[in-house]
Amino acid sequence: MSLSNPFESITKTMMNAAGKLSSDQAQGTAKQMMDGLRDWGNLVRSQAQGIQTASLETVEDFKGLKDPMAATEAFKANIQRTLALTAKHLQETTALSIEQFNTGVDLVQERHPAPEAFAPVAHAMKLTASAIESGLLASLNAGVEAAGSEPPAKKPRAR
């Protein structure tokens, strides 16, 4: 059978390897999936709490304002806070996505019939993902700085 594209090759490799999956490997894979879901759940909870806090701060900022200039300043501060929070959330989401992508690449390489032959492809995939992440973060920070907000501090990823 001729394989016309890399996705067919990967699919065939994964299908062939599925029959060789031991109980320990299945448990390890399930644990990785559950850890990934837990990480996403924690991220969503954290971001929801951040949004809730920002919303309460906005309500407090506007309570009792009568002066139009004070309202304008409160509105400006709210927009800057919202932009910074959005950038922070996008940064966190991107970091988790890249981390999980890299874990998936490692898993494919580990299960590949010739892992050493797949290594350059895995390396290129990770470099590309890193470049995409860097570009996105640079754009986010530039946008936040242009709006007069503080860019989010880059958090080190847990490994």
Model confidence pTM above 0.75: no
Question: Tell me, what's the pLDDT at 47?
Answer: 92
- Record the tokens describing residue 120, joined without a space: 């350059």
Q: Which residue has the higher pLDDT, 121 or 32?
A: 121
Q: What is the largest CA-CA distance in the chain?
A: 76
Residue 94 confidence (pLDDT): 93
Check pLDDT > 90 for residue 98: yes
Between 151 and 52, the more confident residue is 52
Lowest mean pLDDT among 15-19, 101-105, 122-126: 15-19
d(CA 36, CA 31): 8
Residues 6+ apart with CB under 8 A from 49: none
Q: Which of 15, 33, 5, 6 is nearest to 125 (CA)?
A: 6
